[in-house]
Structure 1
Amino acid sequence: MSEFLLDVSDLRVFDAASGKAIVDGVSLRVASGGVLTLLGESGSGKSLLAQAIMGTLAGGLRAEGALTIDGQHFDAADQHARQRLWGRAVALLPQEPWLALDPTMRVLNQVAETHELVAGKSAGQARQAALRDLQQLGLQDAAHLYPHQISGGMAQRVAFLATHAAGARLLIVDEPTKGLDSGKRGEMLSMLRAAQADGMAVLCITHDVWLARALGGEVAVMFEGAVIEQGRAGQLLAQPAHAYVRALLAADPAAWPLRPALRTPGEVVARVDNVGKSFGKHCLFSGISLELRRGEMVAITGESGAGKTTFGNLLLGLLRPDAGTVTRAAGLPRTAFQKLYQDPAAAFAPTLTLRTALADVLALHGLQWAALAPLLARLRLGEHLLDRLPSQVSGGELQRFALARVLLLKPALIFADEPTSRLDPITQQETLNLLLEVAGDSGCAVLLVTHDCEIARAVAQRRIELQSR
């Protein structure tokens, strides 16, 4: 039997309608206890490659090539044949954690279900195993909550536990550290290393260069559907041969120049005075005051679950504070206060194409399609993506569509909740620069939630740090 748990040979993914190859001739192997990290920009084909391996490609896409998973050989075109491996031999942690969780089930039950139904434990054993898993990642307090009641970072860790519970020998993880603060990224790294130590093969899809370095092993860089460079992580990331790989590494937020301070602050768009918010007996924060002025960007940082999203929702009027006051500038319409969601999948109707979703916004607000086309071009979103469902584009592409939709309404304030956590470094820098440029041109204020202190340092004039209580 081959030493490789995953062996992919000349894998291609085609658009069935046009016959165009979206993933073109990829070959890779991952050994037992080994790791291969796929780096590349959003839309480069990384997630499509994972779906082709799993056999979960969306309708309208087809695969060609050969696969060997845990000693079993498959024709990539026969997606149905690989279903018997799901959870037992191969497990996938998808890019959007909330899409991996059942919204009607509590966190504890989500993890216990895999232990019981896939791993074959009794109900009592499964529950105890799930509690132990949650405690290891500091999630015991979330055990009886529903997915919509936890943060994006917490949802990512719960989804990881549910995926890992059955002990599949091959683990495919798609952007496992997106939206996580530095401490939680370290925890996820520890979990992946523990999986390797247990003999699991790990195929990690990420735009997080830090994670690629920390995991070591092999790295392959994808661009426009093909692997353009592959090698040992230490050597490739230190001395990349390809110009695109050099540009990808140079776009790390630590290398970004500082944004200059505002010379003339604009008028106040929103003000919070001594606000506090609790959920049940748990106090998220208290005594926070802030003014947001036109043209400026203020960053909110802090650990996952510290209340960053809740604070922004208070500012938008989506929640009410338990203490203090929130005042928004008079004379502005409700549409002047907009939100970019942490998980773009939650912001789009899953059964409508992106073209329909955007056309509905244009019609509702009396705008013409000509207003949208320049934004799509600046965000590098091709028109061929418009006829796809939200689930048929990458998380990064979907987040850029969400940004385009928000900018259409020329808001006075944008609450940007981790708007680039799904993007590779190059696209992240381009997208934030566009957000800053458009906000500056229109005099819009931006309240930016980020787990990345380097981004906060580079782009924000002021910063608020929330501490977990």
Structure 2
Amino acid sequence: MKPLLKTENLEIRSATAQLVQPLSIELLPGKVLTIIGETGSGKSLFAQGVVGNLPAGLQAHGHVAFADSFDEDARSNGRQALWGREIAVLPQEPWLSLDPTMRALPQVSETYRYVVGHDQQQAQALASQDMSRLGLEAAQHKYPYQLSGGMAQRLAFAATYAGGARVLIADEPTKGLDSDRIDEVITLLQAGLAKGGALLIITHDTEVARRLGGEVMIMLKGKVIEKGSAEQVLNVPRHAYTQQLLAAAPAKWARRAPAQIAGDPVVRVTDLGVDRGGRALFRQLSFNVRPGEIVGVTGPSGCGKSTLGDVILGLMSSSEGNVAKPSMAPDVAFQKLFQDPVAAFPPTVTLARNLADLVKLHRLDASRIGPLLQRLRLEPALLQRLPGQVSGGELQRFSLLRVLLLDPVFIFADEPSSRLDQITQKEMLELLLDAATERKTAILLVSHDEALIDAVCDQRIRLGETARDCEPAPAPPPVTCEAIGLNSPPGDAA
């Protein structure tokens, strides 16, 4: 059987360094190859080299071949003619693959029309079916900026998958999605395999790799250190790094001891209600966040988790209710870790200049940058790069560094670890926990990972139509939660 994708000694180089060591792969029809590794290890660069879409200044070497006898030197760009037809890419950042000036439905239907060749009516009907299957019925006429991160991810998936390319490269396809949506995406991926397609998946989610099966490669510092069947690599890992990676899963974390809460609340939320896009996201939501307390927020994609944090920060208004903050705390003491760090950095300014401007503007101590870089495992050389020249995980860690320099009293952390491998995720969350413990920073933490929330939070808020809005975190002793359940019977508060 002829492979749909084959690479021979494909390596990625900059002018001064080898970033990905020579790697040869074969993807047969119906097969999956999943690449797992730490952020910045070269996973996405390898995928970009396969497609022929590397960032400026980087070059691929070796050979890339597709079905139908297409074979070229990796430095050539003839394979760009295959984009959307033979090979499709779902990038890590959905905002980079969506047109901000186009509504959602046309972004999917135009793939059916111009890549597949359907007429306009048929293309729109198929696009509508795809969006309904992914729970995006209400989003068909919205622009990308009106969607949550998880909804944008599903829209990008629908637009990418519509072309029917036999080889799909998906970079973190389940990032930022709740468990139900992850199930739907996996089902769609498996349907493509059943039709004779092949998948190259880049993910930090080892559970997704287990469910997709096939072959797994573990990458570290640009080199594949372990490979084999998903069952073998993920159940009986041989390499010490693979063992460390699997042991860092949130389900295996020791639960954090309850915070020693004292002092007046940093944030008081009373009977809060928010409408967006013509519908109510939540109503009568009340809770306090005290110094040093970590409050987790969970719920399905699009239920209002990010909106809740934005209302608290004053970035958008509520429909009803009130948010009170201590009058002596300046606005800069309330900070946000964005779900999509690309949107939080100016693209034409180096990371070094970005931090230098922050230090100058707020008269901060620049000597703290070095220790924070070391704690976050960020190489100082990365400071000389633009935001688009580092990985999504590295940029997210720079986001945390920038926030911590400001010594905030409150951090709204919106999926702060969704781009990180499990080891780096644990390290980043530990740094947030240290801020809560040592500096008494209050944290509102959004995550789709139930095990992560269970392990680190003192209080939980559940948003969504079928879940109770708030309940105590499971760690003993029980923590009193003041949030009122949106869908609980009258008088039923956790």
TM-score normalised to the size of structure 2?
0.92
Runs of at least 4 residues of structure 1 off by over 3 A?
Answer: none
1:68 aligned to 65, 68, 74, which one?
Answer: 65
CA contact (8 A) 1:7 1:69 kept: yes
What secondary structure is seen at the aligned counterpart in 2 of 1:373? helix
Alignment match, 1:414 = 411
How many Å apart are 1:266 and its aligned residue? 3.7
CA contact (8 A) 2:261 2:290 kept: no
What secondary structure is seen at the aligned counterpart in 2 of 1:415? strand
Letter in 2 for 1:291: N
In structure 2, how many angstroms separate the alpha carbons of the residues matched to 1:251 and 1:86? 36
1:143 maps to 2:140: yes
The structure, 1 or 2, with the larger RCO (C-alpha pairs under 8 Å, 6+ apart) is 1
What secondary structure is seen at the aligned counterpart in 2 of 1:268? coil
In structure 2, how many angstroms separate the alpha carbons of the residues matched to 1:402 and 1:263? 27
Matches within 5 A, 1:368-387: 368-387=365-384
Alignment match, 1:11 = 10
Further displaced range: 197-206 or 272-281:
272-281
What secondary structure is seen at the aligned counterpart in 1 of 2:12? strand
In structure 2, how many angstroms separate the alpha carbons of the residues matched to 1:283 and 1:423? 32
CA-atom RMSD in angstroms: 1.2
CA contact (8 A) 2:271 2:322 kept: yes
Number of equivalenced pairs? 465
Gaps of 5+ in 2: 467-494
1:463 maps to 2:460: yes
- CA offsets per residue over residues 22-51 of structure 1, 9 Å max, x none? 101212111111100001111110000000
1:348 maps to 2:345: yes
2:207 aligned to 203, 210, 232, which one?
Answer: 210
What secondary structure is seen at the aligned counterpart in 2 of 1:386? helix
Matches within 5 A, 1:404-443: 404-443=401-440
Gaps of 5+ in 1: none
In structure 1, how many angstroms separate the alpha carbons of the residues matched to 2:381 and 2:9? 25
Letter in 2 for 1:48: L
Alignment match, 2:228 = 231
How many Å apart are 1:449 and its aligned residue? 0.3
Letter in 2 for 1:44: S
Matches within 5 A, 1:24-63: 24-63=21-60
What secondary structure is seen at the aligned counterpart in 1 of 2:266? strand
Further displaced range: 346-355 or 158-167:
346-355
How many Å apart are 1:369 and its aligned residue? 3.0
How many Å apart are 1:339 and its aligned residue? 0.3
Alignment match, 1:283 = 280
Alignment match, 1:175 = 172
CA contact (8 A) 2:261 2:293 kept: no
What secondary structure is seen at the aligned counterpart in 1 of 2:116? coil
- CA offsets per residue over residues 403-422 of structure 1, 9 Å max, x none? 11111100000000000011
Further displaced range: 365-374 or 142-151:
365-374
How many Å apart are 1:441 and its aligned residue? 1.5
Alignment match, 1:263 = 260
Alignment match, 1:311 = 308
In structure 2, how many angstroms separate the alpha carbons of the residues matched to 1:68 and 1:455? 41
CA contact (8 A) 1:265 1:296 kept: no
Letter in 2 for 1:376: L
Matches within 5 A, 1:359-370: 359-370=356-367
What secondary structure is seen at the aligned counterpart in 2 of 1:138? coil
How many Å apart are 1:67 and its aligned residue? 1.2
CA contact (8 A) 1:266 1:295 kept: no
